[in-house]
Structure 1
């Protein structure tokens, strides 16, 4: 989180240095010129007072020279004053812009904190999901193992069922064969008994009616 704040702060400082570079030394020069202006003004006032007392051509020349230098200084002072005024306006704008960017940085910091909290919440949720997935994977593996065992048991039960069905059908066929044999035997015995009864009946008739 600190890296982007340092980056923004470095960019702002770099921009301020780039924009202030053309004006480096202006305030120092202005102060020196103002000091020179005051000195020259005092000298001019003294020369003018002495020229009024003494008079003379040389003093008049010096006075005109000082007046020219004074006007030059006044002109420079006006230019420097305008420059100072412009710089003051620029500084006010820069301060307002700096406050704006500071508010934006504060806003971004708050957003970053909110996002960080959201990220932590998402990480916790993700960890919970991963734990649940791991538990479900283990349960799924156990269920698959159980399913495999049940399938094998079911297949074994079907094989046993088929074997039992085959044995039952074999037993039923054998029982049907035994029943058929029994019925055949009973039928033969019945035919034999019927034949014997007929023979007995004939023998009895013969004995009764010789």
Structure 2
């Protein structure tokens, strides 16, 4: 049993004992007074029925004691009735508190189950977060690696583009030089063809003279 339940039960028992303690022995005293009352009543009957038996003064004393005993018996009966009512109320209150204890026990069990479920869910979430953290760290490392590879690829692309442009420029320069050379050779060829043509056209004239 839980400590708080034992504590509540012990406090209830101590309270009941403290409330019943002033009235301990009431039932015993009532029983003794009833016995005394019966004895005095029998003695009084015997005394009144005897022929010249007991004196009148003793009878009066016995009647007075009898009335006193009756009065005490009535008071004790009323006290017993009141105590019985109080005990019934205390029993009802005790049953009420026991019911409350059972209710709180059930609530505690429900809360304990809910707490265990929340702990299991929390552990699951912590495990998921830990796993996702590791995956995120791995993805971060992979992203840095890809970023470095992309940066290197861009650098290589820029270098290749620069070299390609240089090669194209050199090729264009060579082509321009080749075209210039071709153009010069064509001019020289045209010049030579004109020169040869002129030479050919001038040779018959010289031979006829």
TM over 0.5: yes
- Change in CA separation of 1:201 and 1:77 when aligned onto 2, cut-off 3 Å: same
CA deviation profile, 1:100-129 (whole Å, cap 9, x unmatched): 222222222222222222222222222222
1:137 matched to 2:120? The reply is no
How do 1:1-210 and structure 2 match up within 5 A? 2-50=2-50, 53-54=51-52, 59-210=55-206
Work out whether residues 47 and 53 of structure 2, in 8 Å CA contact, stay in contact via their aligned partners in 1: no
- Change in CA separation of 1:208 and 1:47 when aligned onto 2, cut-off 3 Å: farther
Question: Which consecutive segments of 4 or more residues in structure 1 shift more than 6 A?
Answer: none
Question: C-alpha separation between the residues in 2 aligned to 1:174 and 1:32?
Answer: 139
Unmatched 5+ stretches in structure 2 = none
How far does residue 201 in structure 1 lie from its aligned partner after superposition?
Answer: 1.8
How far does residue 85 in structure 1 lie from its aligned partner after superposition?
Answer: 0.7
User: Helix, strand or coil: the match of 1:209?
Assistant: helix
How far does residue 135 in structure 1 lie from its aligned partner after superposition?
Answer: 1.9
User: Helix, strand or coil: the match of 1:91?
Assistant: helix
Work out whether residues 37 and 66 of structure 2, in 8 Å CA contact, stay in contact via their aligned partners in 1: yes
Question: C-alpha separation between the residues in 1 aligned to 2:204 and 2:8?
Answer: 148
Question: C-alpha separation between the residues in 2 aligned to 1:6 and 1:55?
Answer: 67
Work out whether residues 40 and 66 of structure 2, in 8 Å CA contact, stay in contact via their aligned partners in 1: yes
Question: C-alpha separation between the residues in 2 aligned to 1:32 and 1:166?
Answer: 127
Question: C-alpha separation between the residues in 2 aligned to 1:162 and 1:135?
Answer: 40
Question: C-alpha separation between the residues in 2 aligned to 1:100 and 1:169?
Answer: 98
The CA RMSD over aligned residues, in Å, is 2.0
How far does residue 160 in structure 1 lie from its aligned partner after superposition?
Answer: 0.9
Question: C-alpha separation between the residues in 2 aligned to 1:28 and 1:191?
Answer: 157
Question: C-alpha separation between the residues in 2 aligned to 1:42 and 1:148?
Answer: 115
How far does residue 32 in structure 1 lie from its aligned partner after superposition?
Answer: 2.9
